[in-house]
Copies of this chain bind each other. A is one copy, B any other.
Amino acid sequence: MFAVTILGNNSALPMYNRHPTAQVVYVHDQLFLVDCGEGTQMQMTLYKIRRSKINHIFISHLHGDHYFGLVGLLSSYGLNGRTEDLWIYAPAPLRQILTLQFEAANVILPYPLHFIPLEGEQTIYEDKRVTISCFEVSHRIPCWGFLFREKKKPLKLLSEKLQEYAIPSSFYKQLKEGEDYITREGAVIKNEWVTEAPLPPLSYAYCADTAYMESIAEKLKGVTLLYHETTYLANAEAKAASRAHSTTIQAATVALKANAKRLLIGHFSSRYEVLDEFLNETRPVFENTSLAIEGVTYLVR
């Protein structure tokens, strides 16, 4: 499963039982936490997130609504006896903030905590399935988005053809990587006779808090699922600009220009109790848009 579960969809002031930003990204059996507003650990309990499966946490920027729940989560991991390594990818000043708080509590975490400061645009995580990179967006303080991109998938084997050519299963791995098979008799079975192209790699982009920025669309060309903030409705464009946030129309425009497959919008201002208008404004520009609703999981596909 490649998907994202929303734990918080509100902007800075928690209201209407909407919470500050946090998301869990599933890439098959791995869980990644993206931002961690106050109360994230309680939201994890509410929505039955298997927090022990999280080994990597990404913090976009140091406005409190994106990280004030982190030190509580890290402390709870300690109290729960976690021993597995945990990696934090975050703006550099967070390291000292965490250190001071653990020192003040005289806490020594029972697990290794690794801190990787975000810098520029680069790959920050990679395994056999996925590459995660950070990219700078435009906010009032240094702020990064994160792009989760599946790696190129192996070729798909055509089981009928495998039988037809009597290829031993011990060679399947090489076939998936594009090799031809050569029989004992020396005959060449061409790879393309027994395989077909894999599904294209999928991708999820989290654009954090940002003013409208056309270059984001360039960078994310062809992204499968694009999360873009819509703190404000269209008529608050000046306010959005002054706070380095985005409106519905701006988010939809980024999705359109990026040729995204689907748009997910969130980080709603507390001035809006009812959210319908966010869809009403976004969909005429970019039809395949969904509201980020807490507790809901959105597949990347």
Contact = CB atoms under 8 A, between A and B. Distances in A.
A235 interface: no
Contacts of A68: 38, 68, 71-72, 75
Contacts of A15: 45
Given A15-B45, A42-B14, A104 B97 contact: yes
B41 A141 contact: no
A274 interface: no
Given A39-B39, A100-B97, A141 B105 contact: yes
Nearest to A12: B79
A8 to B, nearest CB: 11
Contact of A38 (B39, B45, B63): B39
Give the interface size class of chain A.
35 or more
Nearest to A68: B72
Interface in A91-146: 91, 93-94, 96-97, 100-101, 103-106, 140-141
Contacts of A14: 41-42, 45, 76
27 contacts: A12-B76, A13-B76, A13-B80, A14-B41, A14-B45, A14-B76, A15-B45, A38-B41, A38-B42, A38-B68, A62-B101, A62-B104, A62-B105, A63-B105, A64-B71, A64-B72, A64-B101, A68-B72, A91-B104, A93-B103, A93-B104, A94-B104, A97-B101, A100-B100, A104-B141, A105-B141, A106-B141
Given A91-B104, A104-B91, A75 B39 contact: no
A76 B12 CA distance: 8
A64 B62 CA distance: 19
Interface string A54-69: 0000000011110011
B64 A75 contact: yes
Contacts of A103: 93
